[in-house]
Amino acid sequence: MPMNYVKTAMLLAFLTAIFVAMGAAIGGQTGMVIAFVVALAMNLFSLWNSDTMVLKTFGAREVDERSAPEYYGMVRDLARRAELPMPRVYIMDNPQPNAFATGRSPARSAVAATTGLLDALPPEELAGVIAHELAHIKNRDTLTMTVAASIGGAISMLAQYLQFGALFGGHNNDRGGIGMIGAILAMLIAPFAAMLVQMAISRSREYQADRMGALICGNPLWLSASLARIEKGVQRIENEDAEHAPAMAHMFIINPLNGQGMDNLFSTHPNTQNRIAALEKLAQELERNGVSLPGGSSSGRAPSQTVTRGGRGPWG
């Protein structure tokens, strides 16, 4: 979708400007030039390799049809229904139920789910989650998501450096920087501005992915039930990897940091109840238009019916 490429270009420009401004706060004009060169290199890296970086950040391991036949088979079946190339399939050894998609294009995409998700969800709800992530891939949201995650994370790290330097007197005017006040402003405003960009992108695309994912899996109620179950799990179980990389929180289907997103300026995700209400409304619309929903409710069966409960879990 051309619009997603435009969004990505605008995002890169804005986050690059923040990064360059923070370089100026550290080292004046010299620091600004260095930051600009670094930002260009980061942009190229994030466009081509950020998916690998994100997967490594969360300790994701790739699986295939032999190591995880049921989980892999479900992804394959739903990718076929979505008319997408088969994505790479990953599992994160994490007790919190959650999932995300990454990759710069459908041809280079990946779906990752936690062991907590695979343990907690029945097959039809798992299908709803996977379909949601495939919708992100189909909409090419993952390009913007991975770029935002990688550069946003770099800005946060630079802000921490500024904070450390300010605490120990590392910034002074005679070195060509903008002084203590500029450093304090940079370490406060820059991460906040980067966060606002990610939030604005995240909230709108989640509603779109919910709707498309519901159509891919065949029943909006499967996805709505999974969202409710995941939110409860997120509230109870901390995701330590996400806590260490908060700039990447917007990639998950439910905010892994607190699971209580609100529809306001400071939320990376729409309110879960609002998402559920939208999906229930979609189910009613489909039924009014004569569309028969498989299972009729969240107790129906998923497109791949081989996922079993108990034992070692649905990943084999």
Binding residues for Zn(2+): 132, 136, 206
Residue 133 known to be catalytic: yes
Q: What angle, rounded to 10 degrees, do the helices at 179-217 and 2-57 form?
A: 100
Tally of CB atoms within 10 A around 268 = 24
Residues at the binding site are 132, 136, 206
Tokens 């129906």 locate to 300
Strands 60-63, 88-92: parallel, antiparallel or unpaired by DSSP? antiparallel
Q: Please count the CA atoms within 13 angstroms of the CA of 166 that sit on its side-chain side.
A: 19
* Edge-to-edge strands, sheet with 108-114: 60-63, 88-92, 108-114, 99-105
Tally of CB atoms within 10 A around 6 = 11
DSSP state, residue 167: H
Length of the chain in terms of residues written? 316
Catalytic residue among 65, 133, 280, 285: 133
Active site residues: 133
